[in-house]
Amino acid sequence: MEKIKSLADLRKLQETLKAKIDLREISNDADSRIQVKVAMATCGIASGAKEVMEAFIEEFTKRNIGAVVTQTGCMGYCYAEPTVEVTKPGADPITFGYVDVKKVSKIIDKYIIKNELLEGIIPVNYQSIDNKF
Amino acid sequence: MHIMDILQNSVRARSGSIKLDIVEDRASDTFMFSITDNGCGIPREIFDTVTDPYVTTRNTRHVGLGLSLLKQNAERTGGGLSLISEEGKGTTVTARFINSHLDSPSTGDLASAVLLTMTSNPGINFEYNHIKDNRSIHFTTDEVRNALGAIPMNEPLVYPYLLGILKSELQSIGVS
């Protein structure tokens, strides 16, 4: 990665970055992006959620996967922080608990790429009325 | 931790703009940060008790630790916390720490704390001002959007570049 020190330098890189993104979106389906939400409330931040979020961004960048990584508020699983909800296109969201930087690679390798489940999944304990009828 | 935590409060309050001001002053031995948003404000009925750890507007749990921990830690160093809020208009949280106190916490990685919040919420206008003694930086989402053009701020490829830029700007004013 080129080292840049200013927003002016970033502006010069616009075309290069855009080309990388366009190339990735030709090979992946641009409309079906993986969504990763990292719970970022007090308990999550104290448990290391910031580092987990950075690790997801770094891994997706390294592997050229066009996922959207974002923060969310407390999901209510304070006992299992850091928690991360992963939604693959066409699939229900899955929430992983006790996520650390090492587990980020496992989630990407096993669940996102190979579609294999792994330990630490927090089972859904609710269903909205819209899903029932 | 506190800065990221309070920024999350502002995001959750559906703010359109959030301003983070940090002032480090060696002469007065203080570290102060202030977060101002134009979100929904703190409801009047809980304003007086909002730093109580059992008071929260959330419905996922019955504790709200962010402000109570911030108040506790600021006061422990000889500093304090102040809150100004008006429903429908916004909130300003200001915390002051005495640097030389034994219990004064370290700031951690400020650049990533600010950037992760900024890039995860591309619809919010952020402004980050950091003054250390007589030197300052001013970093805004407007400038970032200008530099990125059509590339969205939440594109993962962009994050490491922005982190490098913000760290470099902070280092230029003596913030490591």
Tokens 């990407």 found at: A108
At B118-142, the pLDDT tens digits run: 999 999 999 999 999 889 999 999 9
Residues A38 and A78 placed together within one structural domain of the fold: yes
pLDDT at A47: 92
Cα separation of B66 and B26, whole Å?
27
- Using an 8 Å CB-CB cutoff, list chain A residues near B156: 57, 60-61, 66-67, 69
pLDDT at B75: 93
Helix (H) or strand (E) holding B129: strand B125-132
pLDDT at A128: 56
Closest partner residue to A76 (CB to CB) among B60, B143, B148 is B60
Closest partner residue to A4 (CB to CB) among B8, B109, B165 is B165
Supply the mean pLDDT for chain B.
Answer: 90
Instruction: Kindly indicate the confidence band of residue A133, based on its pLDDT and cuts at 50, 70 and 90.
Output: very low
Cα separation of B89 and B15, whole Å?
9
Listed in sequence order, the residues at least 6 apart from B172 whose beta carbon sits closer than 8 Å to its beta carbon are B135, B137
Task: Say how many domains are in chain A.
Answer: 2
Residues A44 and A83 placed together within one structural domain of the fold: yes
Residues A22 and A39 placed together within one structural domain of the fold: no
Residues A91 and A42 placed together within one structural domain of the fold: yes
Residues A5 and A36 placed together within one structural domain of the fold: no
Taking a C-beta distance cutoff of 8 angstroms, is the pair A80, A121 a contact? Answer: no
How confident is the model over A48-57, as a mean pLDDT? 94
Listed in sequence order, the residues at least 6 apart from A88 whose beta carbon sits closer than 8 Å to its beta carbon are A34, A111, A112, A115
- Asked if the model's pLDDT at residue B85 lies above 70, the reply is yes
Higher pLDDT among residues B40 and A15, named by residue: B40
How confident is the model over A40-48, as a mean pLDDT? 89
- Asked if the model's pLDDT at residue B144 lies above 90, the reply is yes
**pTM, full prediction:** 0.84
Supply the mean pLDDT for chain A.
Answer: 84
- Kindly state whether B148 is in contact with chain A, defined as any CB-CB distance less than 8 angstroms: yes
pLDDT at A29: 54
- Using an 8 Å CB-CB cutoff, list chain B residues near A73: 8, 12, 58, 60
* ipTM metric: 0.76
> B142 vs chain A: nearest CA distance in angstroms?
11
Residues A40 and A12 placed together within one structural domain of the fold: no
Residues A23 and A65 placed together within one structural domain of the fold: no
Residues A52 and A16 placed together within one structural domain of the fold: no
- Asked if the model's pLDDT at residue A101 lies above 70, the reply is yes
> Could A7 and B165 be called an inter-chain contact, meaning their C-beta atoms sit closer than 8 Å?
yes
Cα separation of B135 and A96, whole Å?
43
pLDDT at A27: 58
Residues A83 and A71 placed together within one structural domain of the fold: yes
At B94-112, the pLDDT tens digits run: 999 998 888 888 778 899 9
Catalogue all structural domains in chain B, each as residue range(s) with its CATH number. 2-172 (3.30.565)
pLDDT at A129: 58
Closest partner residue to A42 (CB to CB) among B69, B147, B149 is B69
- Using an 8 Å CB-CB cutoff, list chain A residues near B157: 17, 20-21, 61
Domain that holds residue A87: 32-132
What are the two backbone dihedrals, phi and then psi, of residue A22, each rounded to the nearest 5 degrees? -60, -40
How confident is the model over A82-88, as a mean pLDDT? 94
- Asked if the model's pLDDT at residue A36 lies above 90, the reply is yes
> Could B148 and A46 be called an inter-chain contact, meaning their C-beta atoms sit closer than 8 Å?
no
- Kindly state whether B84 is in contact with chain A, defined as any CB-CB distance less than 8 angstroms: no
Residues A18 and A37 placed together within one structural domain of the fold: no
- Asked if the model's pLDDT at residue B10 lies above 90, the reply is yes
- Kindly state whether B4 is in contact with chain A, defined as any CB-CB distance less than 8 angstroms: yes
Residues A107 and A70 placed together within one structural domain of the fold: yes
- Using an 8 Å CB-CB cutoff, list chain B residues near A41: 5, 8, 66
pLDDT at A30: 46
- Using an 8 Å CB-CB cutoff, list chain B residues near A16: none
Cα separation of B6 and B93, whole Å?
8
- Cα A70 versus chain centre, distance: 7
What's the distance, Cα to Cα, between the start and end of chain B in Å?
16
> A123 vs chain B: nearest CA distance in angstroms?
16
Residues A48 and A92 placed together within one structural domain of the fold: yes
pLDDT at A126: 56
